[in-house]
Each structure stands twice: as structure tokens, then as C-alpha cells.
Amino acid sequence: MKKNIIWSFFQNSVRFKKNFGKTGRRPGFFPKSKAAFSKYDILKKSLCFFFLLATLEGIAEEAGVDIRGSIEWDRMQFNSTVTVNLPSAGIRIPMERFRAEALINTEYPRLIRPYLLSLPMDSSGTMEDMINRGELPLSSIGDFVRSAQQVPPALSPDLVSMSSKYTINMNTIGAALIRHRRPAEIPRTLTPIPTTTHTGIIIIADKEMPVHGRNIQTLLLPCFFPKIWDTEMNLIFERNMLDPEIGKTGGMIRYVSENAIFRPTPSGLDEDLLNLVGSNPLRILAREVFGIRPTDPVIDREDALLIISSEENRKLLREGKVVFVLHRDVLKSPIGTAAEISTP
């Protein structure tokens, strides 16, 4: 039905163009000047373009094209698989294999876009919010889509469907969202306490904790740019305190599960983690979570002082040598949920 409507729309457009070419006259309801008519022609083409975009989703659904996948915060990967149902799409194999491949490649940008827009940037906003505020150009979505690594399409064993896998490196997204050129000053204290020089910071938040200011408990959730607060609600660390060059290559926070800090090694750490936080990291237990979306850990004031009382330890924040240990269930989730856990 929708395909017939589009075809009818184009036929009418072509018919008008032919009639206009024969008569050389514009119908009375068109603008009379050439400049005005040119603007009308542009408007007509724009309306046609947006009309086609509006019907693409319905056509894709009729053709049996869908997307499945997951966000893996511990690996910073956005994995997805686009699948086309060949009988629903009217595609015959092997003669029309190229049509199935073309349909997958065409539909992937449209299918993945809403999930990219819903990615959580911090405790209060998504990528879509950043675009609406003018902090990120809309064209960035296309850049992220084009950066995806694709596995060539393959047929299912029963020849009923064809699928292709895509992987977006989320560090690429994080790098595009870092806009500052120099890091902001990390808070200091007027009453420093004696502290050891550490090689990294590990905040353990893999259990349900109270939500600050609310009478509920929940798990800490991942995002691109969480903040760290102390129990007196002093801000200890946020995105603009990160060295931008380091943030663009390694990200702000490394997310891991509890398995990564309980390895049968001298340090007890996963080898990959050891390279980031070293052999003598400061281990801190989070006490609460904070935020509209619970992405920010709240640590004891005494633990915060261990960090900000020393220039060497403050430098760990600036260099992004910070790890959050989260529950494994929130580190990987189907696309569309972005590891969202509903809270009352």
C-alpha cells in the first residue's frame, strides 16, 4: 500500500513536469516570478524527500528488516545485527542476493539512529539532549554510523534470512563529546590529611545502594561522563576535569565487573586493568548513588580527602586512571534499554 502511494506521488510529479514543459506556463496557483518558482520547486522536492523518509520505516517493517544487539560498557562496544527476512522482502536467493545486501546497508543507519540518540551521556541527559542543546551537531550521528565495523552479510542455514553484524567503538563517541581544551581544576581541601601516593582509583559499586535524597535503592548505572561526589555532596570529579587528550583516547571511566578485581594474581587485578591503575590502586566502597539516572557514585568524605589531599592522587583523576566496578547485569544490555533499570 505504502509503495503504491509513493509510486503515485512520483507519477503525478512527472506528469506535472511534462505538462509544464509543453505549455511553458505555470498553473495559476504557482508563483509567477522565476525566483519564486525556483523556491517553490525546492520546497516541492523537500516535501517529497521528507515524505519518502516518513514511509521508509513502514516499508522496512513490511520487508521484515529488524535490528538486535547490545551495549557492552565493559568493552565500550555497541554491537548490533541487522536481519532481513527474505520471503517478506520478496527477495529470491541466489539471484537477488545483492538486493538483500543493499537493503541491509540502507536500513542500518535508520535502524541504529534512535538507539544512538538514547545513549546516556551523564546522570541527566542523552545524546539527543546534547544535540537539542546545540552541544553536538546532528551530523555526528552519521559519523558514528559510518565508523562502524561491518561483518559482511551472511545467509542463514535455512536460506530464509540474511544478517550482517556491526560494531561501533563507543570510545569514538566519547571522544567526540569532549569539547573542552584544558582540564578544569580538581578540588583541593583546606584541611589535607596524610595520604599514600596511589597508582589508580577503583570505586566498588556492584551492589544496590541508597539513592541520595530518595528512599529507594538501586544499582549504579554506566554512562559516558559520570560524576563523583562525597557524602557532603561536594563534587570531586566531572568531565571537564579530565585531560581532554587522554579522554579522547582512553575515555573518562573504565567499567568492569567484580571478576576483574578478584583475579588469582599478586595484585588481584585483571592484566588489562593492571595496566591502567597500576599495582597500588586506592580501593573505595561507594556509599550511595546520585542523579536523575543513577550514574554517579557517592563516596565517604574521608575517602575523598585521600584523593584531593595529594597532588599525585588528584593527577589520577585528571589522567582518567579511574575504574568503576559495577554489577555485571548493567554492563551489557539489549539496545534500546541502554542498561536502563527503572526506578520508582
Could you give phi then psi for residue 336, rounded to 5 degrees? 105, -30
The stretch 240-256 carries a mean pLDDT of 94
Cell of 284: 573505595
Banded model confidence at residue 94, pLDDT cuts 50, 70, 90: confident
pLDDT tens digits for range 106-116:
999 999 999 99
Res 236 pLDDT > 80: yes
pLDDT at 41: 53
| Segment 154-204, tens digit of pLDDT | 999 999 999 999 999 999 999 999 989 999 999 999 999 999 999 999 999
Q: Could you give the dihedral angle defined by the CA atoms of residues 168, 174, 176 and 179, in that order, rounded to the nearest 10 degrees?
A: 180
Say if residues 266 and 274 touch (Cβ distance below 8 Å). Answer: no
C-alpha cell at 14: 512527472
pLDDT at 34 over 60: no
Q: What is the pLDDT of residues 200-219, one digit of tens each?
A: 999 999 999 999 999 999 99
How confident is the model at residue 28, as a pLDDT? 44
Q: How far apart are CA 221 and CA 120, in angstroms?
A: 10
User: What's the whole-model pTM score?
Assistant: 0.79
User: What SS3 state is found at 320?
Assistant: coil
Q: How far apart are CA 135 and CA 241, in angstroms?
A: 18
